[in-house]
Amino acid sequence: GQNIDQPTEMTATEGAIVQINCTYQTSGFNGLFWYQQHAGEAPTFLSYNVLDGLEEKGRFSSFLSRSKGYSYLLLKELQMKDSASYLCAVRPMFSGGYNKLIFGAGTRLAVHP
């Protein structure tokens, strides 16, 4: 089967660092994506990992361990505008097509002053 787990909600303080975890079990693996979605808006692409390790992009970093079926998204120097849902998505290897993603339910992050 295919399963992606991430915490439902998290809270953090402006200026702090927060780590959002994602664990997955899928039929093969061909990449993991993180998306940000503000309420009432479309998801926007944040990062893509296909090999183990850390990918850094400004205040956002994403880590992947394929052997553990684990990823995290690290947000540094939190700003109020970072309050949003963060979606972890996996592209299974044998999806029968190249662009089918399996999404987790999302983590709702609230940043407080």
Partner 1 sequence: KAGVTQTPRYLIKTRGQQVTLSCSPISGHRSVSWYQQTPGQGLQFLFEYFSETQRNKGNFPGRFSGRQFSNSRSEMNVSTLELGDSALYLCASSLAGTDGYTFGSGTRLTVV
- Residue ranges binding partner 1 (CB under 8 A): 31, 33, 35, 41-45, 48, 50, 87, 89, 91, 95-106
The answer to whether the beta carbons of residues 59 and 48 sit under 8 Å apart is no
Residue 56's φ and ψ, nearest 5 degrees, are -110, 135
For the CB of residue 13, give the shortest distance to partner 1 in the complex, in Å: 27
Provide the minimum distance between the beta carbon of 87 and partner 1 in the complex, in angstroms, as a whole number: 7
Instruction: Select 35 or 63, whichever has its Cβ closest to partner 1.
Output: 35
Q: Among residues 98 and 113, whose Cβ is nearest to partner 1?
A: 98
- Of 58, 54, 56, 81, whose CA–CA distance to 70 is shortest? 54
Query: Hey, how many other C-beta atoms are within 10 angstroms of the C-beta on 104?
Result: 19
